Amino acid sequence: MKIRHIFVAVVVLLALFGMLLMVAELPPYGSADNPGQNMVAQRYINDALEDTGVPNMVTAVVLDYRAYDTMFETIVLFTAALAVVVALKPAEEEGDDA
C-alpha cells in the first residue's frame, strides 16, 4: 500500500512538472502577436456592423456568424433537460411512455 502511494505521488509530480513546462512555453499573456489573434478577429471588428446590423459584436458572432454552434448548443441543453427528466421523473401509471 505504501509503495503504491509513493508511486502515485511520483507520477502526479511528473505530470505536474510536464504541465508546468508547457505553461512556460505559452506565448505571453495579452501579447498582440499571439496565434489566437489572427485575421478573423480583425474581420469581425471591421465588418460585423454592416454584415449583421448589430452593434453588440458578441451577439453578432454567436447568433449570426456562428449560428450553427448556437443551434447545437441549444440542442445540448435540450438533451440535458431530457436526460434529467428521464432519470428522475417518477414513472406514472397510465404510461405508454414511461
Partner 1 sequence: MRDFILKRMIAVILAFIFVYGFYVILHGHISPGGSFAGGIIVSLSFIAFATVYGIDKGKEKLPEKFLVWVESYGTLWYGLMGLVGICKGAPFLANKLAGIDLGVPGTLSSGGLIGLIGFGVGIRVASTMITLFYTLMEGDA
Residues of this chain that interact with partner 1 (CB under 8 A) are 49, 51-56, 58-60, 62-64, 67-68, 70-71, 74-75, 77-78, 80-81, 84-85, 88-90
Q: Shortest gap between Cβ of 72 and partner 1 (angstroms)?
A: 10
DSSP string, 9-40: HHHHHHHHHHHHHHHHTSPPTT-TT-TTS-HH
**Contact at 8 Å (CB) between 92 and 98?**
yes
Q: Shortest gap between Cβ of 94 and partner 1 (angstroms)?
A: 15
**Contact at 8 Å (CB) between 32 and 41?**
no
Q: In this complex, which beta carbon is closest to partner 1, that of residue 22 or of residue 85? A: 85
Q: In this complex, which beta carbon is closest to partner 1, that of residue 44 or of residue 63? A: 63
